[in-house]
Structure 1
Amino acid sequence: MATLSETYACVPSTERGRGILISGDPKSNNILYCTARSVIIRNLDNPLQVSVYGEHAYPVTVARYSPNGEWIASADVSGTVRIWGTHNDFVLKNEFRVLSSRIDDLQWSADGMRIVASGDGKGKSFVRAFMWDSGSTVGDFDGHSRRVLSCAFKPTRPFRIVSCGEDFLVNFYDGPPFKFNMSIRDHTNFVNCVRYSPDGSKFITVSSDRKGIIYDGKTGNKLGELSAEDGHKGSIYAVSWSPDSKQVLTVSADKSAKVWDILEDGSSGTLNKTLAHTESGGVEDMLVGCLWQNDHMLTVSLGGTINLYSAKDLDKSPLTLSGHMKNVTVLNLLNKSEKMLLSSSYDGIIIRWIPGVGYSGKFDSKQFGLIKLLAVGEEEVITSGFDNKVYRVPLQGENFGPAEQVDVGSQPKDVSLALNPPELALIAIESGIVLLTGSKIVSTINLGFTVTACTISPDGSEAIVGGQDGKLHIYSVSGDTFTEQSVLEKHRGAISVIRYSPDFTMFASADLNREAVVWDRVSREVKLNNMLFHTARINCLAWSPDNRLVATGSLDTCVIIYEIGKPAASRRTIKGAHLGGVYGLTFIDQERVVSSGEDGCIRVWTLNSD
């Protein structure tokens, strides 16, 4: 069968002008963050150790471990909180509808009995505290008139709850049962985050007015502020305390993260260090989330990049973890000898990965805009998006060279590169095909049927074009002429993907009607059929380097691996490979296949010999 050996995780979903919540479990050194409908569980000591919880029906906004580390409470944009176990397949303990709209923050009480959640609601219900086992409400939370962005539970008795939000207020509640004590009006803009120190003696609020204010944890009285002269130059989106309650970490829209020393009496916070970061300085480098956990400090940028610092050595360069935030639609082996992977998501992000290492750099791909298609050659990549342009981009070491763009007159449906001559590329458009040599259009041929997929042989002498009608048309290619050799009819749905085997003796095709077929290239006879085990359309397929295996990936979330020469029924199936569907596949070698999908993750599967 196949076992999961590595996951290159997606990055947190972010939103401009908003902080995001990253939380963790100090015992296991796992962290939690949310992307689309998934909660990502990631280990800071081994970032390739990743689990994904995908049971929410709506995009997830926040997730937190219970104090004992046994449970996770996660909340979504519908106002629903799910409480599930961290072991045994994430068994669901409870599900409650807590608010009438989006939940932005939640926190457990120190005894693990209660949860407070805050966010957007109708009327006055912006904050609610409830018993974790029964869902019954414990208190009344008046006092806010707009969305409540953050809430915090005092970790020591007597319990208190603090909330803050878009009405510029910080509200203080005594309890349980909790009741309104007072509103604090020290900020002059959105109050983005409130956090109690681990010892419960103080709490701090940070705001879009660029201030951080420290309060007494028991009474709510103001104690002091973070020093203004070394302060942030933009909105402060998030704050996190050190485990010893003596320092805080803040992150801001000014793209900086700062570590502050907090006096014992809370009367002031002085700057200890502004953390170094190596970014390009664009909008995506605004910092929107942070966490201080054990010896790790981490920050999250608007672009989703996580920088991991050592709290013991603040001068040490951070470890950068990045990935995709959206559907990863294309996956390719970039360098066959060094086993490097290239992936792209439709939002235009192209990332390089090294098996066993993970993230290895992001290509600057802003020049192409949105990416729908990507083909990789020995020395270049060719991409196209949702306009009529194709970009040919030379690979220059760690980055791309300047792209040459070609307007092919219609939106590309598929792209394929010949290996020798490398300048030759085949572009499928709805009415036919376009042949490119370098950035020059050699010919545009109307084929008389609606084209959906194409591939060109490694030597550029043959092309296969698939149509909406399910037929495969095989052409010989000579210069700028296309000569039809034969038409193969077996598929019952529009062709979605065609790929030659590495040795050029076979090719495989798949369709939207969930069937795949392997053909002999010379005799054009079916070599492997009855490959009908998916329950939805096939999006991608890949050959193993030794021409022995064919893998298919489908909207049904599964990857199926077939062996040439064996009946299709002896297949291997990876169920639930990607929440929302599998969109990219490639083999690293005979034993490892890599998949990508709607969930923004990339997974490496080791194929065990049966």
Structure 2
Amino acid sequence: MPDLGETYACVPSTERGRGILISGDPKSDTILYTNGRSVLMLDLNNPLNVSVYGEHAYPATVARYSPNGEWIASADASGTVRIWGARNDHVLKKEFKVLSGRIDDLQWSPDGMRIVASGDGKGKSFVRAFMWDSGTNVGEFDGHSRRVLSCAFKPTRPFRIVTCGEDFLVNFYEGPPFKFKLSHRDHSNFVNCVRFSPDGSKFISVSSDKKGIVYDGKTGEKIGELSSDDGHKGSIYAVSWSPDSKQVLTVSADKSAKVWEIENSNGKLKKTLTCPGSGGLDDMLVGCLWQNDHLVTVSLGGTISIFSASDLDKAPLQLSGHMKNVTSLVVLKSNPRFILSSSYDGLIVKWIQGIGYGGKLQRKENSQIKCLAAVEEEIVTSGFDNKIWRVSLHGDQCGDANSVDVGSQPKDLSLAILSPELALVTTDSGIVMLHGTKVVSTINVGFAVTASAIAPDGSEAIIGGQDGKLHVYSVQGDSLVEELVLEKHQGAISVIRYSPDFSMFATGDVNREAIVWDRVSREVKLKNMLYHTARINCLAWSPSSTMVATGSLDTCVIIYEIDKPASSRITIKGAHLGGVYGLAFTDDSTVVSSGEDACIRVWRLTPQ
């Protein structure tokens, strides 16, 4: 079984105009955040140390460690809370249906016995507190008329719960069992986050009205505010206290994070932190966490910045990645440690094996991406804008970009590696041959095309159809001449790839079968590759042409050795939640995969 070498984590899912509430475990210095159906546990001291929990049936929204760090409670968009082990295979302890809509925040009581959750109750209840082991209710939470965006448990006795939300209210409850005590309407807009100080003496609420208000933790009375002189210029989305209860960190739509000293109940600005960025919409800050010496902020684009609390002038460590399905992977031949990945939202990220995140490639033409190919100093992309872009690469920077419109949406893109000016693009209506960014011919092949590949030397092309047939053409000048048709597949062809030594090609279909063919004799070289349970999305050859790997919608990667029967395959189960969409070998013992979970994983193959 291959070993998981590294995981390059996806970034937190974000939504414009909403904060996200991240949390962590001070003992292990791990933070928790969600993306799609995944809950991610990321080690702040070693970002390549990532663990992913993918058992929610709906998009996960928030997750928290229990006070002893042994359990995690995570919630989702359906109103369900799952409680599972923080270590040991994440074994499920309990599952409760808590609200009738999305849960936005949840917190454990300091003794780890109760959980409070808040969110969208679809007109019914917006807050519930329950025993963690039985799900029994421990209170009545009246007083809110709209979605409750945040809730907090007082970390010291006597226990209190405070909530806030879209009705501009901050409500205070005494218990257990918890009962409504009082309500504040000091904010004039959505109240996005409320948090108790670790010593329980105060709590603070922050709002889209740009204000932060401080209250007495025991009585719930208002006692102060964050100074407005140097306050935020946009909605404040989240707030987090320092471990000593003397300072708070706030983040805002104004793209800044601020550290405040809470003296005599009022907040005095200590420092404004600016995260490096282009100053665009994606740099708005939507989440934060103060954990030990780490000040963590999250931007709308998903970038995680980690500042040092003891040295606020130090530049932050920045981690980023994909937020959406990673549909293609390319390994740079000149340096196989460098991996480029693209997601359909148009983002191209560079990764360095052993280091992780190596930066985003900023393209001038920010179009969505369907296919990505790369040769030495150039990347070629096709998108939903009917265009093929050729972009020169200078180190980490994208240089000049040229495009050509191929008239309809490109389905597949293949470069002749030895003469990369030559490219083959398949569209619904047929084949487009390109030289650089010039269309040299558009060929209607008379059948529905689903996949294609051009030989490394540009001498032949293989076109796969909806009918499962493989049409082999020789490339003669600017036209294609059909040589023969291969019929072995039972479903539409989904992917075609030549081996690096040009002696073979491999094909995969939507009916879950892969086949390896001899290029000269056109005979089947490896058959019975029928071990996936759903469509094959991608395949890749090892550099030595001795192995081929397939990735499928069934979440698995299967690696076959060409000179062994298909039954001696190596299977990586559950490689990516939601399906595998990108595959590449960096060398003969390392496979890189990407998928719908927006993560990228590096697998080390151990000799059988």
TM-score, structure 2 length as denominator?
Answer: 0.99
Q: Select which of 335, 350, 353 maps to 1:352.
A: 350
Q: For 1:426-505, what aligned pairs fall within 5 Å after superposition?
A: 426-505=424-503
* Whole-Å separation in 1 of the counterparts to 2:190 and 2:231: 17
Q: Is the 8 A contact 1:248 1:259 kept in 2?
A: yes
Are 2:555 and 1:557 aligned? yes
* Whole-Å separation in 2 of the counterparts to 1:544 and 1:244: 53
Q: Deviations over 1:161-202 (max 9, x none)?
A: 000011111000111111000001111111110000001011
Q: Is the 8 A contact 2:367 2:385 kept in 1?
A: no
Alpha-carbon deviation of 1:498? 0.7
Aligned to 1:280: 278
> Aligned AA for 1:350?
I
Q: Is the 8 A contact 1:124 1:144 kept in 2?
A: no
Are 2:290 and 1:292 aligned? yes
Q: Deviations over 1:464-495 (max 9, x none)?
A: 11111111111111320211222211111111
CA RMSD of aligned residues (A): 1.1
> Aligned AA for 1:107?
Q
* Whole-Å separation in 2 of the counterparts to 1:468 and 1:276: 52
* Whole-Å separation in 2 of the counterparts to 1:109 and 1:339: 46
Q: Is the 8 A contact 1:549 1:562 kept in 2?
A: yes
Indicate the percent of aligned positions where both proteins have the same amino acid. Answer: 75
Q: Is the 8 A contact 2:54 2:577 kept in 1?
A: yes
Are 2:120 and 1:120 aligned? yes
Alpha-carbon deviation of 1:421? 2.1
Question: Alignment partner of 1:279: what SS?
Answer: coil
Q: Select which of 504, 516, 519 maps to 1:518.
A: 516
Q: Is the 8 A contact 1:335 1:341 kept in 2?
A: no
Question: Alignment partner of 2:318: what SS?
Answer: strand
> Aligned AA for 1:303?
G
Worse-matched range after superposition: 216-225 or 117-126: 117-126
Are 2:326 and 1:328 aligned? yes
Are 2:80 and 1:75 aligned? no
* Whole-Å separation in 2 of the counterparts to 1:270 and 1:284: 28
> Aligned AA for 1:592?
T
Question: Alignment partner of 1:576: what SS?
Answer: coil
Q: May I ask how many residue pairs the two structures share in their alignment?
A: 608
Aligned to 2:250: 250
Alpha-carbon deviation of 1:535? 0.6
> Aligned AA for 2:272?
T
Aligned to 1:383: 381
Question: Alignment partner of 1:150: what SS?
Answer: strand
Q: Is the 8 A contact 1:368 1:385 kept in 2?
A: no
Alpha-carbon deviation of 1:396? 2.4
> Aligned AA for 2:457?
D
Worse-matched range after superposition: 148-157 or 466-475: 466-475
Question: Alignment partner of 1:231: what SS?
Answer: coil
Aligned to 1:22: 22
Question: Alignment partner of 2:400: what SS?
Answer: coil
Q: Is the 8 A contact 1:368 1:391 kept in 2?
A: no
Question: Alignment partner of 1:89: what SS?
Answer: helix
Are 2:405 and 1:407 aligned? yes
Are 2:537 and 1:539 aligned? yes
Q: Select which of 489, 504, 509 maps to 2:507.
A: 509
* Compared CA separation, residues 590 and 338, structure 1 to 2 (3 A): closer
Aligned to 2:196: 196
> Aligned AA for 2:320?
S
Question: Alignment partner of 1:569: what SS?
Answer: helix
Aligned to 2:42: 42
* Whole-Å separation in 1 of the counterparts to 2:275 and 2:333: 29
Q: Is the 8 A contact 2:151 2:161 kept in 1?
A: yes
Worse-matched range after superposition: 578-587 or 326-335: 326-335
* Whole-Å separation in 2 of the counterparts to 1:366 and 1:493: 38
Q: Is the 8 A contact 1:193 1:207 kept in 2?
A: yes
Q: For 1:32-181, what aligned pairs fall within 5 Å after superposition?
A: 32-181=32-181
Q: Is the 8 A contact 2:334 2:376 kept in 1?
A: no
Q: Is the 8 A contact 2:336 2:587 kept in 1?
A: no
Aligned to 1:422: 420
Q: Deviations over 1:53-80 (max 9, x none)?
A: 1111111110000000111111111111
Worse-matched range after superposition: 395-404 or 56-65: 395-404
Q: Is the 8 A contact 2:77 2:103 kept in 1?
A: yes
Runs of 4+ aligned residues of structure 1 deviating over 4 Å after TM superposition are none
Q: Deviations over 1:240-283 (max 9, x none)?
A: 001111111100000000111111x32x1111111132100111
Q: Deviations over 1:290-326 (max 9, x none)?
A: 0011111110000001001111111111111101111
Q: Deviations over 1:496-521 (max 9, x none)?
A: 11111111111111111111111111
Question: Alignment partner of 2:225: what SS?
Answer: strand
Alpha-carbon deviation of 1:124? 4.5
> Aligned AA for 2:184?
I
* Whole-Å separation in 2 of the counterparts to 1:438 and 1:387: 18
Question: Alignment partner of 2:274: what SS?
Answer: coil
Q: Is the 8 A contact 2:126 2:148 kept in 1?
A: yes
Aligned to 2:222: 222
Q: Deviations over 1:24-46 (max 9, x none)?
A: 00111111001111101111111
Q: Is the 8 A contact 1:63 1:72 kept in 2?
A: yes
* Whole-Å separation in 1 of the counterparts to 2:520 and 2:124: 72
